[in-house]
């Protein structure tokens, strides 16, 4: 009997549970709703969601999914770039939400993202309609510059004030000091006039479309001022400095001073803006780009250099030979413009020479050789001996070769690259790093003499013909 009662109770329990499951009301998280996007947005229409989601979540999801579908259909990089340009810039402010009850809300998602104010990002309800206003970022905006954390352009909404501009630019940048004023630049509708309005930073002043707001007066000058020192110093590399000029001796001191192997005659100073950007990387294995230096390509730099040379030549009275020489000088101006410091002139002391941020100081290893090149049996580098003249090094190189042009010897200075004629009657001091060049005598053959004779004979013949014609005409 007891067994029958237990069985009956279990059957009734299962039946009740089954009845309960068949009539259960879905929870709020399982009840789907529909909302509609309209206006200027990447995708308009009705979208399913649920009432636990807020507006910004759905806007972000629909935007990303719609953009990805569009990009998947693009067949070229240009088409993808065009689609991205068309999709960007939807309105974040002044969104109009119309509830099914007729209630109308104006929402500011940008303000929500900056403050977390959920009154600007409400939960969604069934049949909500969200209208995105059309935006014209080129005209329907205001711009904030100066002492703010996030300068830029922002969508204008009627009623915006100076405090809103500072808010959307994420407040005053603490790197600026004594920020207590703002200036609004307001261009007239026809663009012919501009009005400048100075205001205290906390002024309750209304903005207009197209306003440019500059916050603060002064700009901090705490930039990465530095000089690059390369070569024979104890601590080569970047030396931090201020924006004001500083003496070269102070820069070298900060770099640890010259090493024992440093040259005294050929310290070079260059301006970094004379170099193409890539040259610093390739030649010195350092990235050295001042803040204002733009990332130009090497080909553009080369082309610009060529055009600059043409502008110099456009109104010049240069011959073909002069033009070739001028082009050579123009292309070498980067090196030629580098200043040479010779410490031997000042008793080993640095002169009063100022260095500015962006300068490059190159201190080569001191030279210990003199190089003999040209028509000698053993051209090469020979140990420098103080007080010895060019004859000593020619003798070390085996003397003059059979075809050397004795009267045309040249001494090339290692630091200035100056060519100096060697005269046996003039005492010429040779320095370490200099070059002695022995040119080759021009070899004349019988054929070359005949060719030269025929050339001059042709000229004489032409002159004689002209003279005969003149005499005949005069008769």
Q: Would strands 369-374 and 435-438 be described as parallel, antiparallel, or unpaired? A: parallel
CA distance 211 to 91: 19
Mean pLDDT of the chain: 81
CATH of domain 141-215: 3.10.560.10
41-86 confidence digits (pLDDT tens) = 988 999 999 999 999 999 999 999 988 888 888 888 888 888 787 7
Taking CA atoms, 398 is separated from 66, 211, 370, 467, in Å, by 83, 81, 14, 56
What confidence tier does 294 reach under pLDDT thresholds 50, 70, 90? very low
pLDDT value at 304 more than 60: no
Angle at 13 between CA 12 and CA 15, to 5 degrees: 65
Selected residue with higher pLDDT from 193 and 454: 193
Tens-place pLDDT, residues 368-401 = 899 999 999 999 999 999 989 999 999 999 999 9
Whether 14 has a pLDDT exceeding 60, the answer reads no
Inter-residue contact 436 to 376 (CB < 8 Å): no
Percent of the chain past pLDDT 70, that is, above it, reads: 77
Q: What is the pLDDT of residue 333?
A: 59
Q: In the predicted model, what is the mean pLDDT of residues 276-291?
A: 52
- Label residues 59-71 b or e (16+ Cβ within 10 Å = b): beebbeebbeebe
- Of 127-136, 154-163, 283-292, 339-348, the range with the lowest mean pLDDT is 283-292
| CATH of 33-132 among 3.40.390, 3.40.1000, 3.10.20, 1.10.443 | 3.10.20
Q: What is the mean pLDDT of residues 128-139?
A: 87
**DSSP class of 54:** B
pLDDT digits (tens, 9 = 90+) for 190-224: 888 999 999 999 999 999 999 999 999 877 777 77
* Number of other residues whose CB lies within 10 A of the CB of residue 322: 12
CB neighbours of 182 closer than 8 A, spacing ≥ 6?
146, 162, 166, 198, 199, 200, 201, 203, 213, 214, 215, 216
| CB of 48 closer than 8 Å to CB of 32 | yes
- Residue matched to tokens 């000089």: 227
Which range, of 6-20, 21-35, 83-97, 393-407, averages the lowest pLDDT?
A: 6-20
Instruction: Tell which CATH classification among 3.40.50.620, 3.10.560.10, 3.90.1560.10, 1.10.3720.10 matches the domain 369-438.
Output: 3.10.560.10
Instruction: Tell me: pLDDT of 9 over 60.
Output: no
Place 418 in a pLDDT band, splitting at 50, 70 and 90.
Answer: confident
Alpha helices (H) along 236-332: 248-254, 277-284, 298-313, 320-331
Per-residue confidence band for 20, with pLDDT thresholds at 50, 70 and 90: very low
The model's pTM is: 0.57
Helices and strands, number each (H, E), in the chain:
12, 22
Q: Tell me the C-alpha distance between 390 and 410, whole Å.
A: 10
**Pairing label, strands 435-438, 410-412:** antiparallel
pLDDT of 2 above 80? no
Which of 108-112, 131-135, 155-159, 281-285 is predicted with the least confidence, judged by mean pLDDT? Answer: 281-285
Under 8 Å between Cβ of 205 and 162: yes
Phi-psi region of 457 (alpha: psi -120 to 50; beta: other; left: phi over 0): alpha
Q: Find the length of the chain.
A: 475
CA distances from 81 to 42, 67, 75, 91, 126 (A): 15, 12, 11, 20, 36
Q: In what order do the strands lie in the sheet with 194-200?
A: 152-155, 141-146, 212-215, 181-187, 194-200
Going by pLDDT thresholds of 50, 70 and 90, the confidence category of residue 419 is: confident
Q: Which two tokens stand for residue 409?
A: 């010897």
Dist CA 437 CA 409 (whole Å): 6
Name the region of 349 (left: φ>0; alpha: ψ -120 to 50; beta: rest). beta
- Tokens read off for 100: 């099914």
More confident site: 142 or 221: 142
Q: Which of the residue ranges 197-211, 245-259, 315-329, 419-433 would you say has the lowest mean pLDDT?
A: 315-329
How far apart (Å, rounded) are the C-alpha atoms in residues 28 and 35? 16
């Amino acid at each position: 009997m007891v067994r029958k009662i237990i069985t009956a109770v279990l059957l009734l329990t299962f039946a009740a549970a089954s009845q309960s499951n068949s009539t259960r009301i879905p929870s709020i998280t399982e009840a789907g709703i529909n909302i509609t996007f309209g206006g200027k947005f990447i995708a308009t229409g009705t979208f399913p969601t649920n009432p636990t989601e807020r507006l910004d979540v759905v806007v972000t999801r629909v935007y990303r999914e719609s953009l990805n579908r569009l990009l998947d259909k693009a067949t070229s990089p240009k088409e993808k770039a065009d689609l991205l340009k068309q999709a960007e810039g939807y309105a974040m402010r002044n969104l109009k939400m119309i509830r099914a009850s007729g209630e109308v809300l104006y929402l500011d998602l940008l303000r929500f993202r900056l403050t977390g104010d959920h009154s600007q990002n409400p939960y969604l309800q069934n049949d909500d309609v969200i209208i995105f206003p059309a935006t014209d970022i080129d005209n329907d905006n205001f711009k904030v510059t100066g002492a703010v954390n996030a300068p830029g352009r922002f969508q204008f909404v009627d009623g915006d004030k100076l405090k809103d501009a500072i808010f959307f630019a994420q407040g005053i940048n603490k790197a600026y000091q004594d920020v207590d004023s703002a200036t609004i630049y307001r261009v007239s509708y026809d663009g012919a006039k501009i009005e400048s309005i100075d205001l205290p930073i906390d002024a309750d002043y209304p903005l207009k479309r197209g306003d440019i707001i500059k916050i603060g007066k002064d700009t901090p000058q705490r930039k990465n001022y530095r000089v690059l020192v390369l070569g024979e110093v104890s601590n080569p590399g970047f030396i931090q400095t201020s924006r004001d000029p500083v003496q070269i001796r102070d820069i070298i001191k900060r770099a640890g001073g010259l090493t024992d192997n440093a040259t005294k005659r050929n310290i070079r100073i260059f301006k970094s803006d004379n170099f193409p950007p890539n040259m610093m990387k390739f030649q010195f294995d350092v990235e050295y780009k001042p803040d204002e230096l733009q990332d130009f390509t090497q080909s553009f730099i080369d082309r610009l250099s060529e055009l600059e040379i043409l502008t110099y030549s456009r109104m010049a009275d240069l011959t073909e030979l002069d033009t070739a020489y001028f082009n050579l000088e123009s292309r070498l101006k980067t090196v030629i413009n580098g200043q040479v410091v010779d410490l031997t002139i000042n008793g080993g002391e640095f002169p009063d020479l100022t260095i500015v941020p962006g300068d490059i100081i190159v201190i080569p290893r001191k030279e210990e050789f003199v190089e003999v090149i040209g028509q000698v049996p053993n051209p090469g580098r020979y140990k420098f001996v103080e007080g010895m003249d060019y004859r000593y090094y020619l003798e070390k190189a085996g003397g003059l070769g059979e075809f050397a042009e004795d009267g045309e010897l040249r001494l090339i200075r290692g630091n200035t690259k100056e060519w100096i004629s060697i005269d046996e009657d003039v005492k010429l001091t040779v320095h370490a790093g200099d070059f002695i060049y022995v040119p080759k005598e021009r070899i004349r053959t019988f054929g070359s003499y005949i060719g030269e004779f025929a050339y001059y004979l042709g000229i004489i013949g032409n002159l004689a013909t002209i003279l005969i014609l003149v005499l005949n005409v005069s008769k």
